[in-house]
Amino acid sequence: MADSNVQVAEPEVQVTTQQQAQKAKPKRQPRYNVVLWDDSEHTFDYVIRMLQELFGHALDRARAMANTVDSEGKVICLTTTLEHAELKRDQIHAYGRDPLASKCSGSMSATIEPLR
């Protein structure tokens, strides 16, 4: 005796074309460099402390970056998304003056540049 209410499940067939696979991949956001610019108003200690506090760089890396900004006029602090780069640039601008430098009038200068 056969049961007329029994249903047989058909296996689902998923057709994936190359175009569908490409759509499934998330697009990478463009990357931007946070660039710190040299000036003659801030001390090495200020630059090192700022790089450690704002970017989490280790002491050795922060010292190397301070030397680079002094010798080359700029240094890339971080490469990240636009929104994060804007935040880090703004944090540099808001970091304040160098208490160890009497002629210091404010924060250091930073910009963001698209990664090439």
Tell me if 29 sits within 8 A of 82, measured CB to CB.
Answer: yes
The pTM of this model reads 0.76
Return the pLDDT at 36: 97
Closest by CA to 88, choosing from 97, 76, 98, is 76
Residue 6 has pLDDT above 90, yes or no: no
Question: Would you place residue 17 in the very low, low, confident or very high pLDDT band (cuts 50, 70, 90)?
Answer: low
What does the domain layout of the chain look like in residue ranges? 40-114
Residue position matching structure tokens 């002629």: 103
Task: Give the C-alpha separation, 8 to 2, whole Å.
Answer: 13
Looking at 3.30.1390.10, 3.40.50.1820, 3.90.1200.10, 3.60.40.10, the CATH number of the domain 40-114 comes to 3.30.1390.10
The per-residue pLDDT for range 18-61, each reduced to its tens digit, is 666 666 778 888 999 999 999 989 999 999 999 999 999 999 99
